[in-house]
Amino acid sequence: MGFDVPRFLKKDKQALIFNEDNKELVYFVPEKYFESDLATPVGEYINLMGIFDYTIMDSKGKNSGLKRFYFPTIFVCKPYTMEKMKQIKLTSYTEPQDYRLLKFKKGDQAVTSVTVPKSVANIELFSKMFIFNRLPNTIPYDKIVDYFIDNIRLNGADYGVTIQMLGLIVGEACRDSKDVSKRFRNTDMKNMNDYKMMPIKKIPKLVSPFTAITSENWDESVIAAVQNKNKVNAPLEKLLMG
């Protein structure tokens, strides 16, 4: 697996078993994962992208605090039950959304096998998470690139670009939560989670009128070009709009 095993799990052959008495392990899986092949029920099992939040609940309903599950590829788990919850706001900086709560009691397989198949499909799924804004912003801004690196490593491939290039993409996609026309990296960055991630194809309209009208979303981009208040001008912009 290549990652540290948390103390509340024990390894049993290839599986990681939840090992706490009178407690439950709870995975907070966004409903949109189930709408985009990031979570797929297969009988009693769930094929799941290992990027989500979790907690441990005691018998009185008290939780141990929200933590990030970090295993950025598709793996299999076997919860004993699954509950749907509407419009949960996990933290002060996350927007309310629907979740499915996967619950595990002592002896359940939190990870069915630590040996996961290497597949280009898993890389594609992760890339789509980023491109279409499905990464949870409980991930600190300065840790996002780590997910790219470990996803590609777990699936035995290579992006063929430098880490700096990945950083540039992340820097453009993560915007100031209070003003998406500004990059998060241009704020004071006191709270590494206080960003709003934008789908890649929506970013051009935030840059300049010229960049907006040369992007793929023509109808939306023309409106954005008219409304864009960015004073930065490109040379061709004067030809097209002068």
Handedness of CA 227, 232, 234, 239 (dihedral sign): positive
Q: Which residue has the higher pLDDT, 172 or 100?
A: 100
Q: How many domains does the chain have?
A: 2
In a domain, 2, yes or no: no
Please name the residue that has the structure tokens 């040369």.
214
Q: Which of 81, 111, 141 is the last residue of a domain?
A: 111
Q: Distance (Å, rounded) from C-alpha 110 to C-alpha 81?
A: 12
Residues 149 and 72: beta-carbon distance below 8 Å: no
In a domain, 1, yes or no: no
In a domain, 103, yes or no: yes
Tell me what the mean pLDDT of segment 63-87 comes to.
95
| Residues 106-159: tens digit of each pLDDT | 999 999 999 999 999 999 999 999 988 889 989 999 999 999 999 999 999 888
Residues 29 and 132 in one domain: no
Residues 175 and 97 in one domain: no
Which range marks the domain in which residue 148 is found?
120-237
Q: Which of 61, 80, 111 is the last residue of a domain?
A: 111
Residues 89 and 20: beta-carbon distance below 8 Å: no
User: At residue 237, what is the residue type?
Assistant: E
Residues 180 and 198: beta-carbon distance below 8 Å: yes
Token reading at 188: 């004071």
Residues 148 and 95 in one domain: no
User: At residue 60, what is the residue type?
Assistant: K
Residues 103 and 13 in one domain: yes
User: H-helix or E-strand containing 100?
Assistant: strand 97-104
> Which of 120, 108, 99, 112 lies closest to 54 in space, CA to CA?
99
- List residues bridging with 28 in a β-sheet: 53, 101
Torsion of CA 130, 132, 137, 140, to 10 degrees: 20
Tell me what the mean pLDDT of segment 28-36 comes to.
95
- Please report the pLDDT score of residue 236 as a whole number: 53
Residues 105 and 136 in one domain: no
* Confidence bin at 218 (pLDDT 50/70/90): low
Direct distance between the N- and C-terminal alpha carbons of the chain, in angstroms, rounded to an integer: 57
Q: Which of 56, 76, 111 is the last residue of a domain?
A: 111
Residues 107 and 124 in one domain: no
Token reading at 111: 């990870």
Single pTM value for the model: 0.84
Residues 102 and 184 in one domain: no
Residues 108 and 162: beta-carbon distance below 8 Å: no
* Confidence bin at 101 (pLDDT 50/70/90): very high
Please name the residue that has the structure tokens 């933290």.
91
Residues 125 and 221 in one domain: yes
SS3 145: helix
Distance of CA 6 to the CA centre of its chain: 21
Residues 103 and 138 in one domain: no
